[in-house]
Structure 1
Amino acid sequence: MKLASGDAKLLDETAQLASIRGRSLWADARGRFLRNRAALLGLIVLVLVAIFALFGGYFAKYEPDYVDFSLMGANAYRGVPSFESGHYFGVDFDGRDLFARTVQGTGISMLVGVVGALVAVVVGTLYGATAGYIGGRVDNIMMRTVDILMSIPFMFVLILMLVIFGRSMFMLFLGIGLISWLDMSRIARGQTLSIKNKEFVEAAVATGVRPFTIILRHVVPNLLGIVIVYSTLLVPQMIIFESFISYLGLGIQEPQTSLGALINQGAEQMNNGTLWMLAFPLFFFLVTLFAFFFVGDGLRDALDPKDR
């Protein structure tokens, strides 16, 4: 039996449609992200830096707190970077291996940035989504509280917390995270105001779903795009904050170190002919920051619904 040309064309189009596999929002965003060369390069660099921080210690010949007393005061000409001596990045002014300390500092700085950003994102998203969804007087009180807290100098509060409760890594994580959530709460509130009037939220309200459940199951998942983008841009900001605190001597304490502390020590020794003490920590600091910025910019483009 011979099919008419119109029927054959219809069957062909039906077969083509059947062969097309639907793509979800995240699959589409992943494809857009992978086509962004700068973002992909930033992601590769971040993976390499993370591998360096996690496994670089296995290639270090010396421990981070090992002191070579024979090099103290003579590191300008005997403690230079050398593969023969095992000091791949040279030694610092105390005769400690700079490669091992850079590995340790990179890991701690990234940990401070990721944990601080995670705390800020979780607290800020829940706070802002709650304020935006409930609205009215509750929203007004919650956001005026945010305005009051934002008027207080951030560094002053963080330094005060470290002085009162002790200079520990936990307090550094807690202080940076719990103060930096304020901007995230404003962003989450603004997005929630536009989401709460959508049809799926109204349907959940009509079926008797509790408000807090709606916030967690319907509002927050629709904030993930902007939250992910903001978190990747917040991590380098946390690293910069930690570096400044370490510069003041209130951050990571010896024998541990961070990139900010290493940069501070290297800058103090620049006039002594030991440029490598500044160059290697500064290199990993800048590379990490730019990689996070590129990844954040790529995620913003990939998750922006206006560009699809």
Structure 2
Amino acid sequence: MFGTRHAETLTDAPLEAVKGRSLWQDARGRFLRNKAAVTGLIVLIAMTLFALFGGLLAKYEPDFVDFSLMGANAFRGVPSFETGHYFGVDQDGRDLYARVVQGTGISLLVGVVGAFVAVFVGTLYGAVSGYIGGRTDQIMMRIVDILLSIPFMFVLILMLVIFGRSLLMLFIGIGLISWLNMARIARGQTLTIKNKEFVEAAIASGVPTFTIILRHIVPNLAGIVVVYATLLVPEIILFESFVSYLGLGVQEPNTSLGALINLGARQMNNGTLWMLLFPLAFFLTTLFAFFFVGDGLRDALDPKDR
């Protein structure tokens, strides 16, 4: 009697009350409960809005030179809202606020585009290698091992020197070299996924190999790919900043946070500390925000924690 009433109660209940949550709904709830990750996400959104629309508040263009402040910026080019130089001026009399807006946008663009290229190439390469297996897998992974043994920064600097120091070359150089670790991660996950029942069912149905990889293997790598991408973006921004610090990255009149930090470090002894502090603050804030979001996504999508 009791079992019958209990069954009737479940039957009469609304569908939303008895429907289970999906994997992504559960992960979203876990992510939103992580205060550090949510804070990092809010900071990243604010940084993106600053890079996109911060120039609307600037009274000067990034490449506008105030010749009256050249050589006198230590006492006349200080940060001031009255003059419109919110972050002060650099050694050439250019508005630092406008250049920080431009540098933040370019650094974010390099990081996001480079991570996208690395994830796209690495995921496909690793999925193909892990799914096909055998001698093909051995050859493909040995190629990755050989490329990983070559110093990454040396290859990037060599490419910029040979093919020219352009933003496009920076995108290509960073993205096409950063995919190696992603290929290893995707290959390891593919070795587990390819033995699942839905993959065996697709094979039995006569689905072509490449279609199985695109429709069944790659979508199931989405969790680990998203996590790795958020952790790869700050790594690429660091690479770009180091290359720009050496003078091989973004070239004038464009700039990046790494180039601004380089210029600010050179002027520390001239009483213009703001030239270093403002770009450095935006640089560190962006990096920590990406790290917090990446850690939050990793915890939210980790099957062991569920």
User: TM over 0.5, yes or no?
Assistant: yes
2:37 maps to which of 36, 39, 59: 39
Question: Quick one: which of 6, 24, 31 aligns to 1:9?
Answer: 6
Q: Tell me how far 1:6 sits from its aligned partner.
A: 4.8
User: 1:47 is paired with a residue of what secondary structure?
Assistant: helix
Which residue of the partner structure matches residue 218 of structure 2?
220
**One-letter identity of the residue aligned with 1:163:** V
Q: What's the counterpart of residue 49 of structure 2?
A: 51
What is the CA deviation profile of residues 143-193 of structure 1, one whole-angstrom value per residue up to 9, with x for unaligned ones? 000111111111111111111111111110000000010000000011111
1:132 is matched with which residue? 130
Superposition deviation, residue 13 in structure 1: 3.5
State yes or no: 1:145 paired with 2:143: yes
> Are 1:286 and 2:298 matched, yes or no?
no
Cα-Cα RMSD: 1.1
Task: Measure the CA separation in 2 of the matches of 1:65 and 1:274.
Answer: 19
C-alpha distance in structure 2 between counterparts of 1:94 and 1:274, whole Å: 12
2:88 alignment counterpart: 90
Residue 115 of structure 2: aligned partner: 117
Q: Distance in 2 between matches of 1:104 and 1:6?
A: 67
Map Cα deviations across residues 39-66 of structure 1 (whole Å, 9 max, x no partner): 0000000000000000000000000000
Query: In structure 1, what is the equivalent of residue 79 of structure 2?
Result: 81
Counterpart-to-counterpart distance in 2, 1:116 and 1:9: 56
Whole-Å separation in 1 of the counterparts to 2:261 and 2:101: 13
2:272 paired residue number: 274
CA-CA distance at 1:17 after TM superposition: 6.8
Q: Quick one: distance in 1 between partners of 2:178 and 2:8?
A: 58
Give, as a single letter, the amino acid of the residue that structure 1 aligns with 2:110.
V
Shift in CA distance, 78/7, structure 1 to aligned 2, threshold 3 Å: same
Where structure 2 has 5 or more consecutive residues not aligned to the other structure, the ranges are none
Give the paired residue count. Answer: 305
Q: Mind listing any 5+ residue stretches in structure 1 that lack a counterpart?
A: none
* Deviation readout 1:249-304 (Å, 9 max, x if unpaired): 11000000000000010011111111110010000000000000000000011111
With the length of structure 2 as denominator, give the TM-score of the two structures: 0.97
- CA shift, 1:5, in A, is 5.1
Identity of aligned residues (%): 78
In structure 1, C-alpha distance between the alignment counterparts of 2:9 and 2:211, rounded to whole Å = 46
Amino acid at match of 2:290: F
